[in-house]
Every structure is written in structure tokens, then in C-alpha cells.
């Protein structure tokens, strides 16, 4: 039975309302970022440590002990990360850090500008790439690093807030499914429980894979910098760990940073510059652009184009933190849409689409085979008087 005009109108109205509601939700998330973002970060840390808690439950470790052990583990990671991060920042703002490289950057700029000037038909003695761009890179970079160093108390208070939220989320984890069963009818409660379980499983696998690959990337970048003699090895290792959580763009920025550093430090020894560039690109290609996307695609089934779009959207809403959380947030949206019949088309469009492509190709081959099958000529019977 074909849908009538009223059914079509209702469906269109519902789709418009869903679109308006989605825009309003995104606007609220942006406006209330200071309040919502710590809760979201605490939730994702909970998803990451929840398998450890589940394992402790299977070993019949008392819940209070498992809670204390996990919170102690998270505290150690927090303190270690904050310490290493600010150690990196202070290393860069010291006199033997970025200030010592200001003269090298100017010298490198003169060298490159002298090579490019003849092709642009300008005076080599007065032409400067940095001058042409008119960007005070030194002032901007030092001001940014100094402001980060001065925000230690603010960052520490935000981390403490996330830590408190995480504590209460872990304390509530045993009551999530009982509350679902009580709040919804049995059929819907079971479906909601399956959806929550699927979200927890997929996002925890993604975060675990991302953490392991990010740490490996940081270790390899640090070792490669030490072996090759590239300055600020700790900086490149820490940046590799942090930026690897930002899909695609993070790996490009970190690799480009090491290559630029090699140019500034070792030019005009171009052989050594090429060696370092190939070394860093190889590490990122293997860990960041081959292993990570393959594991990510298998676990999440999200289109690479959708990942880039979500990176832009969540980056606009929550800044750098939103870029870190863009993939798991998109995965959660995809799972919710897959469990709501009217939103299943959205989940399909967010997916990588390999299964649908195989099905489409199979259907095309079947139709082509049917069209190429020989048909017997049908003879008309003779009519006799």
C-alpha cells in the first residue's frame, strides 16, 4: 500500500523536526562546553577503564578495592601526563629552546628566499618568505607556550573536576542496567541495554587501540629523534602521542613538524634531512596511516570522509578536545541511529559501506548474468481451418 499525502507530510515534518533538534543540541553543546565537556571526558575515561573493572569483578575482587585501584591508576596517569606536558613546555621556552632557534630560522629563511627569488623575479637581498607572510611566528609561539605554562592551576582544576566526575560514574556503573529495566518497558529496556552494551564495547575497543598506537607512535618518534640527533626528542615524542588522537590531521602536523625541524637544524645537509624525513614518514605511515585506520575501520565501521567531517564539526564545537573525541562521539551517534528505525538511513550513510558495496556489486553481476542468458525463441502455433 502506497503512503498517502498525509503520511508523506508527517514523515517530512518529523525529519525537519529531527534536523532542527540536532542543530539545537549542537548549539547547546557549544554554549555549555565548560560544563558538559568535563563530563564527556570523564565518561570516555570510564569507558576505557571499564574492562579493567569488569575483569576485577570476574576475579571477585571487592568493589571498593577495584574502585581504589582504578582511581589510583587514573591518578598516576594524570599526574605523569601533566608533568611530562609541562616539562615539554618549559623545555621549549628556556633560552636554549625556541629562543636559541630564532637566529637559525632567520638564516634558513634567507637561504630559501634566495633560492626562490630568481623564479619570482624579485630582489634576493630584500625578499623574505617570513616577511612576505607578515607573521610574527616567534611572538605567537612564545606567547602561546607562556600562556599554557601560566594556566597550570586552571588545567589542574579541570583535571580534578574530571577525576571527581569519573569517581561518581564508576560508583554508579552497577545501577545502569537495573535503572533501564525499571524506566522502560521490557522490550524497549532490553533494546536500550543492548545499545548501551554495544556502545561501550565498540568505543572501549577504539580507545584502547588508539591509546596503544599513540604510545607506540610517541616511543618510535622519540627513539628516531634520539638516534638521528634531532633536537627536542621529548617534545616530538609527546606531541606524537597527543596528536595521534586527532584523526589524519594530527599525524600530518606532527610529521611535518619533525621535517621542518630537520630542515632548520641540518640544512644545507640535504642528505641527512631526507633521511630524517623518510624515517618519520615511514613510522607514521605504518602506525598512523596503515595499522590505525585498518583497526579503526574494523572496529567502528565509519567512513573516512565522515571522520574528517566529524573532526571539523566537533572541533568547531569543543575546540581541540572535540577533535580528540570526534571519532568515539560519531560512533555513538551511529549506534543510536542504527537502533532507531527512522534514523537507520543516517547510520548507513555514516558507515564505511563495504558490505553495501559488495551487495550492490553482487546484485549488478546477477542482473548482468540474467540479461546475458539466451532465451529460446517462442514459436507461434499454426492455425488450421
Residue 147 grid coordinates: 600562556
pLDDT at position 352, please? 73
Q: Does 65 have pLDDT greater than 70?
A: yes
pLDDT at 383 (0 to 100): 44
Query: How would residue 76 be classed by pLDDT, with cut points 50, 70 and 90?
Result: very high
What percent of the chain has pLDDT above 70? 81
* Residue range 266-290: mean pLDDT, rounded: 84
Cα dist. 9→16, 17, 341 in Å?
Answer: 11, 12, 18
For residue range 2-25, what is the model confidence (pLDDT) as tens digits? Answer: 566 676 777 778 778 878 888 898
Question: pLDDT, tens digit, for every residue of 345-373?
Answer: 888 888 776 666 666 677 777 776 666 66
Confidence grade of residue 75 (pLDDT, cut at 50, 70, 90): very high
Percent of the chain with pLDDT over 90: 14
Distance CA 224, CA 280 (A): 7
For 142-189, how does the pLDDT look when each residue is reduced to its tens digit (9 = 90+)?
777 777 767 777 878 888 999 999 999 888 887 776 776 677 676 666
The mean per-residue pLDDT over the stretch 88-109 comes to: 77
Residue 227 and residue 224: Cα distance in Å, rounded?
5
pLDDT of residue 378: 45
> 194-246, pLDDT tens digit by residue?
777 777 777 888 888 888 888 999 999 999 999 988 888 888 998 899 888 88
**CA distances, 57 to each of 42, 43, 174 (Å):** 21, 20, 11
Which residues make Cβ contacts (< 8 Å) with residue 285, sequence separation at least 6? none
Helices (H), the chain: 5-31, 33-58, 63-93, 98-120, 129-133, 137-150, 152-172, 176-183, 186-228, 233-243, 249-266, 270-283, 292-300, 304-338, 344-350, 354-372
Whether pLDDT at 138 is above 80? no
Q: What is the DSSP string of 190-208?
A: HHHHHHHHHHHHHHHHHHH
What pLDDT shows up at residue 124?
A: 67
Residues 53 and 173: beta-carbon distance below 8 Å: yes
Higher pLDDT, 86 or 145: 86
pTM: 0.77
Q: What is the pLDDT of residue 221?
A: 93
Q: For residue 250, what are the contacts with CB-CB under 8 A and spacing of at least 6?
A: 242, 243, 244, 323
| Residue carrying C-alpha cell 566537533 | 314
Whether 235 contacts 85, CB under 8 Å: no
Predicted pLDDT at 363: 73
Q: How many residues does the chain have?
A: 385
- Angle at which helix 33-58 crosses helix 186-228, to 10 degrees, equals 100
Which grid cell is 370? 540474467
Q: Locate cell 543516517: which residue?
A: 346
Determine how many CB atoms are found less than 10 A away from the CB of residue 303.
19
Task: Name the range with the highest mean pLDDT among 37-46, 139-148, 239-248.
Answer: 37-46
Mean pLDDT of the chain: 80
Amino acid at each position: 500500500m502506497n503512503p498517502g499525502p498525509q503520511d508523506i507530510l508527517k514523515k517530512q515534518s518529523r525529519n525537519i523536526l529531527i534536523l532542527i533538534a540536532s542543530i539545537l543540541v549542537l548549539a547547546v553543546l557549544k554554549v555549555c562546553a565548560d560544563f558538559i565537556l568535563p563530563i564527556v571526558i570523564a565518561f570516555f575515561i570510564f569507558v576505557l577503564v571499564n574492562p579493567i573493572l569488569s575483569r576485577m569483578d570476574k576475579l571477585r575482587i571487592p568493589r571498593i578495592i577495584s574502585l581504589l585501584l582504578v582511581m589510583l591508576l587514573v591518578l598516576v596517569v594524570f599526574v605523569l601526563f601533566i608533568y611530562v606536558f609541562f616539562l615539554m613546555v618549559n623545555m621549549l621556552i628556556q633560552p636554549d629552546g625556541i629562543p636559541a632557534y630564532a637566529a637559525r630560522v632567520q638564516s634558513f629563511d634567507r637561504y630559501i628566499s634566495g633560492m626562490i627569488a630568481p623564479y619570482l623575479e624579485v630582489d634576493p637581498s630584500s625578499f623574505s618568505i617570513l616577511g612576505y607572510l607578515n607573521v610574527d611566528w616567534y611572538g605567537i609561539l612564545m606567547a602561546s607556550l607562556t600562556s599554557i605554562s601560566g594556566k597550570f592551576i586552571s588545567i589542574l582544576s579541570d583535571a580534578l573536576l574530571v577525576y571527581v566526575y569519573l569517581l561518581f560514574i564508576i560508583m554508579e556503573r552497577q545501577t545502569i542496567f537495573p535503572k533501564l529495566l525499571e524506566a522502560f518497558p521490557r522490550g524497549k529496556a532490553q533494546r536500550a541495554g543492548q545499545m548501551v552494551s554495544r556502545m561501550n564495547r565498540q568505543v572501549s575497543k577504539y580507545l584502547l587501540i588508539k591509546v596503544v598506537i599513540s604510545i607506540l607512535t610517541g616511543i618510535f618518534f622519540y627513539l628516531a629523534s634520539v638516534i638521528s640527533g634531532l633536537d627536542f626528542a621529548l617534545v616530538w615524542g609527546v606531541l606524537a602521542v597527543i596528536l595521534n588522537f586527532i584523526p589524519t590531521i594530527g599525524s600530518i602536523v606532527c610529521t611535518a613538524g619533525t621535517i621542518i625541524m630537520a630542515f632548520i637544524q641540518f640544512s644545507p645537509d640535504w642528505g641527512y634531512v631526507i633521511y630524517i624525513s623518510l624515517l618519520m614518514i615511514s613510522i607514521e605511515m605504518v602506525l598512523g596511516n596503515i595499522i590505525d585506520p585498518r583497526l579503526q575501520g574494523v572496529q567502528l565501521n565509519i567512513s573516512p570522509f565522515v571522520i574528517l567531517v566529524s573532526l571539523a564539526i566537533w572541533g568547531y564545537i569543543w575546540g581541540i578536545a572535540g577533535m580528540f573525541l570526534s571519532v568515539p562521539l560519531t560512533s555513538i551517534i551511529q549506534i543510536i541511529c542504527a537502533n532507531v528505525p527512522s534514523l537507520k538511513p543516517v547510520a548507513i550513510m555514516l558507515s564505511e559501506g563495504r558490505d553495501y558495496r559488495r551487495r550492490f556489486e553482487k546484485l549488478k553481476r546477477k542482473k548482468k548474468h540474467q540479461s546475458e542468458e539466451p532465451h529460446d525463441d517462442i514459436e507461434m502455433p499454426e492455425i488450421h481451418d
